[in-house]
Amino acid sequence: MPARGEKYFFINSLAKGIRVLELLAEKQALTVSEVARHLELNRAGSHRFLATLRELGYVDKDEDGRYHLTFRVLELGMAVANRFEIHRIVRPYLQELSLAFNETVNLGHFDGGDILHLDKIDSKEILRMDSPIGSRAPAYCTALGKAVLAFLPEEEFEKFLKQVRCKAFGPNTITSRRGLRAEIQKVRRRGYAVDDEEMASGLRCVAAPVFDHTGGCRYAISVSGPSFRLTPERIETIQPRLRDICRRISGKLGSTAPCVADGPITH
């Protein structure tokens, strides 16, 4: 019989194996003992999980006895990413923004209250924002996330607002639900979002929403960089071009949503 509160179909050993993969993705390389300590496993159990993953090709061991993920994991991720037609559609527009502003350009997807970074083009500047493809960030403190949150159905946004726990990451992170609601209303009015050192000190970002054929918003595109380059004045220069590009992408996706480049959107 399953333990009280545990779903009958839940396979604990599978869950632990996935936690090992997630840990190695975060820490890059760990010994058997380090994995055991992080996940509160005994050393023998840690070794069995790592040995199994190595046998399956998802993990390898270096000459110092530290385990790390292999490209087999990347292949899985790319197989999922390739399902998103938006990659093919968006890429030329990311390149257009990159050439226009020489800052890092990002494509984000709203997933489970977070923003998942699906694609990006790095700035050629030495100092630049770097959010690896496949990484996640909380939606409430990122321009990408706020651009999507502003155009969720009201019921879905209210549900998000009830569940979110606003932890401070940067000096200007919004940490109250009331403050976040006011910020999202501002994004709805002007049609774009700004991360003003909310995710990290010294970084700014401006993002606009992308709508699909259903009129829904699950994607956004941003331009990001260090705050000394991405000043409020420069953001005002960037945002009309960014909104126009997001409008064009939305059209490619079959959207009939209001044109975000022509003025504020309300709903």
- Largest interatomic CA distance in the chain: 63
Taking the CB of residue 35, how many other CB atoms lie within 10 A of it? Answer: 23
Task: Specify whether 170 is located in the same domain as 226.
Answer: yes
Would you say residue 121 lies in a domain?
A: yes
Average pLDDT taken over every residue of the chain:
87
Total structural domains within the chain: 2
Would you say residue 94 lies in a domain?
A: yes
Would you say residue 203 lies in a domain?
A: yes
Q: Which of 174, 202, 195, 201 is nearest to 239 (CA)?
A: 195
Instruction: Identify the domain boundary among 28, 46, 76.
Output: 76
Task: Specify whether 45 is located in the same domain as 177.
Answer: no
Taking the CB of residue 157, how many other CB atoms lie within 10 A of it? Answer: 18
Q: Could you give the dihedral angle defined by the CA atoms of residues 109, 115, 120 and 123, in that order, rounded to the nearest 10 degrees? A: 150
CA pair distance 239, 260, nearest whole angstrom: 11
Task: Specify whether 191 is located in the same domain as 219.
Answer: yes
Would you say residue 49 lies in a domain?
A: yes
Residue 216 is part of which domain span? 84-252
At how many degrees (to 10) do helices 12-27 and 32-39 cross?
110
Question: Which CATH number characterizes residue 238's domain?
Answer: 3.30.450.40
Task: Specify whether 122 is located in the same domain as 148.
Answer: yes
Would you say residue 258 lies in a domain?
A: no
Would you say residue 170 lies in a domain?
A: yes
Question: Which CATH number characterizes residue 68's domain?
Answer: 1.10.10.10
Distance of CA 145 to the CA centre of its chain: 8
At how many degrees (to 10) do helices 154-163 and 177-190 cross?
150
CA pair distance 54, 173, nearest whole angstrom: 41
CA pair distance 143, 33, nearest whole angstrom: 39
Task: Specify whether 129 is located in the same domain as 46.
Answer: no
**Six-digit token string for 187:** 């994004």
Task: Specify whether 69 is located in the same domain as 103.
Answer: no
Instruction: Identify the domain boundary among 57, 76, 95.
Output: 76
Tell me the sheet residues that pair with 117.
Answer: 108
Task: Specify whether 116 is located in the same domain as 226.
Answer: yes
Task: Specify whether 48 is located in the same domain as 100.
Answer: no
Task: Specify whether 59 is located in the same domain as 169.
Answer: no
What pTM did the predictor assign? 0.70
Task: Specify whether 234 is located in the same domain as 127.
Answer: yes
Task: Specify whether 119 is located in the same domain as 57.
Answer: no
Instruction: Report the DSSP pairing between strands 114-121 and 136-138.
Output: antiparallel
Instruction: Identify the domain boundary among 22, 51, 76.
Output: 76
Would you say residue 50 lies in a domain?
A: yes
What is the per-residue pLDDT across 111-161, written as a single tens digit (0 to 9) for each? Answer: 889 999 989 999 988 776 777 788 889 999 999 999 999 999 999 999 999
**What's the full length of the chain, in residues?**
267
pLDDT tens sequence for the chain (267 residues): 345 556 767 888 888 888 888 888 888 888 888 888 888 888 888 888 888 889 888 888 888 888 898 877 777 776 666 566 688 889 999 999 999 999 999 999 998 899 999 899 999 887 767 777 888 899 999 999 999 999 999 999 999 999 999 999 999 999 999 999 999 999 999 999 999 999 999 999 999 999 988 889 999 999 999 999 999 999 999 999 999 999 999 998 888 765 444 443 333
Would you say residue 246 lies in a domain?
A: yes
CA pair distance 106, 129, nearest whole angstrom: 10
Task: Specify whether 108 is located in the same domain as 58.
Answer: no
Q: Are 66 and 29 in contact (CB under 8 A)?
A: yes
Say what the pLDDT of residue 64 is.
83
